[in-house]
């Protein structure tokens, strides 16, 4: 595995762990309606977090495709 892939997978793993911790935190606050209403005001920010995940997934797909092409057609 090359350095680029290790760095990417580290970032992607950190992203996934942060989402996990966020959902656990939100679940612990599910009985606090004031907190949930405050979070609802910022719900539009969650789409940016989702876009980060999609961008990371697309980058991984493109890098894997490029690596596979380089294996079949070494220059």
pLDDT above 70: residue 75: no
List the domain boundaries for the chain: 8-69
Mean pLDDT of 5-32: 86
Mean pLDDT of 31-46: 82
pLDDT above 70: residue 74: no
CA distance 74 to 22: 43
- At residue 17, the pLDDT reads 92
Note every long-range contact of 26-35, with CB atoms under 8 Å and residues 24 or more positions apart, other chains counting.
none
Query: 3 or 75, which is more confident?
Result: 3
Mean pLDDT of 35-61: 83
């Amino acid at each position: 595995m090359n350095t680029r892939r290790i760095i990417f997978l580290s970032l992607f793993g950190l992203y996934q762990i942060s989402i996990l911790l966020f959902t656990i935190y939100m679940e612990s606050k599910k009985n606090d309606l004031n907190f949930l209403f405050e979070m609802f005001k910022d719900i539009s920010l969650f789409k940016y977090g989702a876009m980060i995940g999609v961008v990371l997934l697309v980058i991984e797909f493109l890098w894997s495709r490029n690596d596979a092409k380089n294996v079949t057609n070494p220059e």
